Structure 1
Amino acid sequence: MSKLKLVLPTPEYKEKIMDYKREFLENGDSMDGTAGLKDAESFEKWYTAFCNNLKEETVAKGLVPATTYLAISTEDGRLIGMIDIRHRLNDYLLSFGGHIGYSVRKSERQKGYATEMLALALKECIKLDINKVLITCNKENIGSAKTILNNNGKFENEIVEGSRITQRYWITLD
């Protein structure tokens, strides 16, 4: 049985989303897959940007349409993680970002949540007609690489940019 469900953000989740942001800021962690939550001045501005990102006609210049989901515990309703599905790739995403970005709050890591979140997001990719999914991670992020491999990711290559090494994986969906 699933321990998580993916839901679209709504204003009802404001308190949980802002608590999620607080935990990441306190720990100095990277907030991947959150549609810019780290830099948002307020929930309202972030939510407006999230809504605009959903469609090609309203997405911010330089970005691609994307859907961001909250990964909510089916047991207690806690916001465990966030995951962002980009509907298409631009040059930057093809090299470094991929179709999917995600994060799990520090207090909930190493419990299998990222693997389950990615599996659920891949089902959403099928609905978006994305059948070949690129996922990338920093070479030093062993947990993320394991998450990708646990979801049948096939390693393609590494891209070196300065001191950063990005690993690229593909997942083919049936």
Structure 2
Amino acid sequence: MRKIFLSRPIADLKNEYIDFYQEWKESGEDMVPWVISKGPEDFEEMMNWLFDNERGVNLPEGWVPDSTFWLVSEDNKIIGAVNIRHELTGFLMNRGGHIGYGIRPSERRKGYATKLLSLSLKEAKKLGIDKVLVVCDESNIASERTIISNGGISDNNFIEENGNVIKRYWINI
């Protein structure tokens, strides 16, 4: 595994982010965390939107402030992304949790998700969050293992209207 670190979104990584985004789009998979589905066609506007979200500016009703970080390798390749919600709503308590994260398709199964979640917990702690909720679909065994390896303690599952089971885990940090 290459050396990696979390970076706030920065303009210097524009080309690397566009490459990350395009790979994910071309895969046809759901984009996780949700913030990466915001297209980077107007990169400056996308960055401003992310920073507004962090400051709680212009949020839709019922939304909470969130911080986005990119997982970057020492050669500046964006490996993944994480979105940390600063607090929980009723919806997030069941379906979203505090932390949503994803690794680009070509970099999976290399241990990056475990490291990304570990680094994200440190950022959550800086935000004053001492107990973090992380969720995953029951079918996402890799994510469940990542959560457990970072100290996740199982809580009650949440069953969506369509029958999908969301596994809920708390991590004390």
Shift of 1:160: 1.0
Contact 1:34 1:68 in 2 (8 A): no
CA distance in 1, matches of 2:83, 2:31: 11
Contact 2:157 2:168 in 1 (8 A): yes
- Report the counterpart of residue 40 of structure 1 in structure 2: 39
Contact 2:94 2:158 in 1 (8 A): yes
Q: Which runs of 5+ in 2 are unaligned?
A: none
Over the aligned positions, Cα root-mean-square deviation in angstroms equals 1.7
Contact 2:13 2:76 in 1 (8 A): no
- Report the counterpart of residue 124 of structure 1 in structure 2: 123
CA distance in 2, matches of 1:41, 1:107: 20
Percentage identity across paired residues of the two chains = 39
CA distance in 1, matches of 2:113, 2:14: 22
Alignment of 1:25-36 (within 5 A): 25-33=25-33, 35=35
Alignment of 1:128-147 (within 5 A): 128-147=127-146
- Report the counterpart of residue 50 of structure 1 in structure 2: 50
- Report the counterpart of residue 155 of structure 2 in structure 1: 156
Contact 1:139 1:167 in 2 (8 A): yes
Contact 1:5 1:73 in 2 (8 A): yes
Contact 1:53 1:60 in 2 (8 A): no
Amino acid across the alignment from 2:113 = A
- What is the number of residues matched between the two proteins? 171
**Over residues 102-126 of structure 1, what are the superposed CA-to-partner deviations in whole Å (9 max), with x where a residue is unaligned?**
0001110000000001001101111
CA distance in 2, matches of 1:41, 1:67: 17
CA distance in 2, matches of 1:112, 1:39: 26
Contact 1:137 1:144 in 2 (8 A): yes
The TM-score, its normalising length taken from structure 2, stands at 0.92
- Report the counterpart of residue 4 of structure 2 in structure 1: 4
Shift of 1:163: 2.8
